[in-house]
């Protein structure tokens, strides 16, 4: 929801960052790889009980993930770059979930359910994007929903910072994912007939 509706407010800053990196010879795929490396460290920082660093690198990774897409649109969109971007996003999320699961093993069952809900939500999202004739700014049809990447980062941040309430926050995250799955399935039924 925030990715879809708030993007216009942050896009000027993202454009400046993309232009800055392009002028210094960075490529969109190169920034995607940097975002992955930074994002992966979030899970390690969680495990090492460094929540502040975990949150900082998670959000830096997320910001670079937005910047790399803008860089790609300013230069040349590449199906390979799109694949890297989507795959690396999931790897960063997995890193956060694994860091939390190993740091807080009592919450592992809830984190496993969260992983399952993310897998189903992404399957619907990507399948609708692949099957839809609709086009968007991105290289595929982007289905908006209650839970997009920014909402995920907000919830991951809450899970990291308020780990005392990890199971409760994770269950809220799962409920939001389930609602998003319902939203996207309802839209898919309408547009894919």
What are the sequence ranges of the domains in the chain? 2-191
Measured CA to CA in angstroms, residue 9 lies from 21, 74, 181, 183 at distances of 20, 18, 26, 25
> Tokens representing 192?
């894919």
Give the pTM.
0.89
pLDDT, tens only, 65-79: 999 999 999 998 788
pLDDT at position 157: 98
SS3 62: helix
pLDDT, tens only, 6-36: 677 788 999 999 999 999 999 999 999 999 9
Task: Report which secondary-structure segment, H or E, holds 105.
Answer: none
**Taking the domain 2-191, which CATH number applies?**
1.20.120.1760
Nearest Cα neighbor of 119 from 97, 140, 151 is: 97
Q: What share of the chain is helix, strand, coil (3-state, %, to 5)?
A: 80, 0, 20
SS3 26: coil
pLDDT at position 44: 98
DSSP string, 138-168: SSS-----SS-HHHHHHHHHHHHHTGGGHHH
pLDDT at position 6: 67
Lookup result for tokens 């949150």: 55
pLDDT, tens only, 51-68: 999 999 999 999 999 999
pLDDT at position 140: 62
pLDDT, tens only, 79-88: 899 899 999 9
Q: What is the C-alpha to C-alpha distance for residues 65 and 110, in angstroms, rounded to an integer?
A: 27
pLDDT at position 96: 98
pLDDT, tens only, 103-161: 999 999 999 999 999 999 999 988 888 887 766 555 566 667 777 888 999 999 999 99
**Which pLDDT band, with edges at 50, 70 and 90, does 189 fall under?**
confident
147 within 8 A of 177, measured Cβ to Cβ: yes
Average pLDDT over residues 38-59: 98
pLDDT at position 99: 98
């Amino acid at each position: 929801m925030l990715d879809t509706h708030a993007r216009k407010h942050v896009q000027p800053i993202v454009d400046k960052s993309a232009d800055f990196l392009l002028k210094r010879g960075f490529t969109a795929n190169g920034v995607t790889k940097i975002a992955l490396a930074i994002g992966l460290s979030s899970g390690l920082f969680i495990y090492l009980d460094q929540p502040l660093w975990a949150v900082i690198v998670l959000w830096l990774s997320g910001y670079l993930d937005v910047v790399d897409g803008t860089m790609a649109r300013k230069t040349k969109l590449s199906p390979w770059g799109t694949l890297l971007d989507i795959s690396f996003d999931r790897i960063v999320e997995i890193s956060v979930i694994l860091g939390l699961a190993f740091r807080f093993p009592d919450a592992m069952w809830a984190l496993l359910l969260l992983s399952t809900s993310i897998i189903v939500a992404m399957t619907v999202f990507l399948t609708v994007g692949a099957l839809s004739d609709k086009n968007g700014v991105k290289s595929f049809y982007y289905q908006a929903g209650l839970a997009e990447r920014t909402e995920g980062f907000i919830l991951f941040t809450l899970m990291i910072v308020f780990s005392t309430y990890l199971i409760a926050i994770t269950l809220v995250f799962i409920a939001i994912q389930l609602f998003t799955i319902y939203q996207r399935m309802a839209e898919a039924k309408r547009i894919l007939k």
